[in-house]
């Protein structure tokens, strides 16, 4: 699926939704390593952007996004509208990232 056929809105400019295939999702559960936790903790002392955690979050969101796209492709979709992210801390240092949207066919 072309990443340009994903959007947070409920329509794609210049395209017509011809079929709604339902909700699709990608879920990743990630924990921080002890090294990452110590490194991130040291960065908090200095303040500012905590790059170790930023990189971990970005990688996790990208994995969830790609899993959502794979789910949509398996359903026969060529686009996803209404894309959203949700995050839940399951326990200390363990976080779930959910990426979801509505799989559609567009022409």
Bridge partners (DSSP) of residue 99 are: 26, 85
**Residue 52 falls within a domain, yes or no?**
no
**Residue 86 falls within a domain, yes or no?**
yes
Query: Residue 93 corresponds to which tokens in the numbers above?
Result: 């240092």
**Residue 39 falls within a domain, yes or no?**
no
Q: Which domain holds residue 67?
A: 3-31+62-106
User: What is the domain-level CATH number for residue 11?
Assistant: 3.30.110.70
Total domains in the chain come to 1
**Residue 51 falls within a domain, yes or no?**
no
pLDDT in tens, the chain (107 residues): 899 999 999 999 999 999 999 999 999 998 865 555 565 565 566 666 777 778 888 999 999 999 999 999 999 999 999 999 999 988 887 889 999 999 999 99
How many residues are there in the chain?
Answer: 107
Contacts of 62 (CB under 8 A, 6+ apart): none
Please state the pTM of the whole predicted model.
0.85
What are the φ/ψ torsions at residue 30 (nearest 5 degrees)? -130, 145
**Residue 13 falls within a domain, yes or no?**
yes
CA-to-CA distance for 59 and 54, rounded, in angstroms?
9
**Residue 92 falls within a domain, yes or no?**
yes
């Amino acid at each position: 699926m072309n990443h340009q056929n994903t959007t947070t809105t409920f329509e794609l400019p210049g395209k017509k939704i011809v079929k709604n295939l339902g909700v699709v999702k990608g879920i990743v559960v990630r924990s921080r390593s002890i090294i990452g936790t110590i490194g991130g903790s040291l960065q908090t002392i200095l303040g500012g952007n905590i790059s170790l955690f930023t990189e971990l979050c970005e990688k996790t969101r990208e994995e969830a996004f790609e899993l959502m796209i794979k789910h949509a492709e398996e359903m026969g979709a060529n686009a996803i509208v209404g894309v959203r992210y949700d995050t839940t801390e399951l326990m200390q240092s363990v976080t779930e990232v959910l990426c979801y949207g509505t799989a559609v066919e567009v022409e």
